[in-house]
Amino acid sequence: MSSSHLPTVDGTDRLCVSERAQFVPSRVLHLRQLPTEVTEQEVLALALPFGRVSKLITLRAKNQAFLEMASEEAAVTMVNYYTSATPTVRNQPVFIQYSTHRELKTDNLTNQRTHGALHAISSAAVHSGNMASGGEERAFVPAQSPVLRIIVENLFYPVTLEVLQQIFSKFGSVLKIITFTRNNQFQALLQFSDTVHAQHAKAALDGQNIYNNCCTLRIDFSKLSALNVKYNNDKSRDFTRADLPTGELEPTAAFGKTAHRPAPTHATTDMAPPAVHSVLLVSNLNPEVRGHTCPEAGLADLLCVVVVFAGVYGDVQRVKILFNKKENALVQMSDATQAQLAMSHLNGQRLHGNVIRVTLSKHPVVQLPRGAAGQEEQALTRDYAGSALHRFKKPGSKNFNNIFPPSATLHLSNIPSSVTEDVLKDLFSSGGFTVKAFKFFQKDRKMALMQLASVDEAIEALVTLHDRQLDHNQHLRVSFSKSTI
């Protein structure tokens, strides 16, 4: 369709803002469910890590916006990334899809001013990231490293490893953190699972304050391509290796005054206070979920979903669905490292149609119901110590080295020799999942990769089919893979 046939976009109702989800790539992206008071800078922060933005139109009355990227490639990269990591603005999930429009056309004075301001902001951001020869702007080229170097200036309150993890995990899976003091400044190296995550975090957080008027973040890309963490303690943490020793802990350095911390600023408005215990609060679950049954003790439905989903990243010891808020659950992991790992990977994922939130709980343990508790309350709590579903109970288990963020590709293991490719495909297809590709491991047919239609489908399939009995004594093991087929 030529531009002459496109509707004019001038911030009025002449633009159809109820367009259905599109699967045909376009440079124009449609953002929905934005906060009412969203700013242009906040919308741009979602897009600039992926490339230059040509045009921006915000429809605040409808909580929507339209972005035109400089290239279709940048738009595709952005949509693909946010398909697996739901973006948030002011703690509110935002939905991004391709628009039916091939370009945005602005023809009134108001939008010309908006376009001018956007061009200045976008060009400045791109200019700081990269310049083509001859001084011409080119699309933002991702840095090679997923490692960020962080300096905290004006350090009035303590900043711990847990604080950094909670702030930065909003932008992607945090794998490792090392904290240290250099030149009398508190600094940290933080490794994401993907370079795009690091780009997004830097674009959104550089120059922000952790607390009101203090603890300012200064963020650059590190020259390191990966971090080597030897110990899990209050100075360093590898969230993919719960088996690392603690090492000899040195006395904690005094980072500024140890005064009572105020409420965090907008950079971290939903950040929970740092904690060293192992209990998570999982909220916005779908309490109406049905049809998922664990093999142990008749545990069914929502309890089972929570146990299996969180169990990908650690061994769940206890689960309690809150009596008066059944969309919330307390989940006790084996240790604080597993709790941090689960929070890093699961926060913001979609489960049974709901985007879930995972934060550290203020409770040090999940209490089991006492004898006088009602029948319903007892049914909402389960002790899972010693469960056969535990993946990490063996010290030094290889499972510690194969922990990855949710992805559309699943790793299947413990497959009996009698089970064929067609049997496995039928197992997933009969559960309503779309199998895009399948491949046995060449050297070990007990393992295979299966690619489904989306990350959301893969999550549902894992929850549904992990530990499914395949023959009289072998159960299917399902986890997320970093590979593609």
Tens digit of each residue's pLDDT (9 = 90 or more) over 82-141? 876 778 787 788 889 999 888 887 655 545 555 555 555 544 444 443 333 333 333 333
Specify whether the CB–CB gap between 366 and 330 falls below 8 A.
yes
CA dihedral sign, ordered 387, 388, 389, 391: positive
State the pLDDT confidence band at 173, using cuts at 50, 70 and 90: confident
The 3-state DSSP class for residue 259 equals coil
Beta-carbon contacts of residue 180 (< 8 Å; ≥ 6 apart)? 187, 188, 235
The 3-state DSSP class for residue 417 equals coil
**How far is 119 from 69, CA to CA, in rounded Å?**
12
Give the pLDDT confidence score for residue 144 in this predicted structure. 57
- Which residue in this structure is represented by tokens 């090392």? 178
Lowest pLDDT segment from 8-12, 239-243, 476-480: 8-12
Question: What domains can be seen in the chain, in order of their start residue?
Answer: 28-98 (3.30.70.330), 147-238 (3.30.70.330), 279-383 (3.30.70.330), 404-480 (3.30.70.330)
Give the pLDDT confidence score for residue 437 in this predicted structure. 95
**How far is 70 from 139, CA to CA, in rounded Å?**
8
Letter for the amino acid at 457? E
**Burial class (CB within 10 angstroms; exposed 0-12, middle 13-18, buried 19+) of 458:** buried
Q: What is the value of pTM for the model shown? A: 0.47
Tens digit of each residue's pLDDT (9 = 90 or more) over 315-352? 899 999 888 888 888 999 988 778 877 887 888 888 88
Q: What is the dihedral of CA 224, 225, 227, 228, to 10 degrees?
A: -100
- Which residue in this structure is represented by tokens 């972005």? 67
**pLDDT above 80: residue 466:** yes
Helices assigned H by DSSP within 369-485: 375-379, 421-430, 455-465
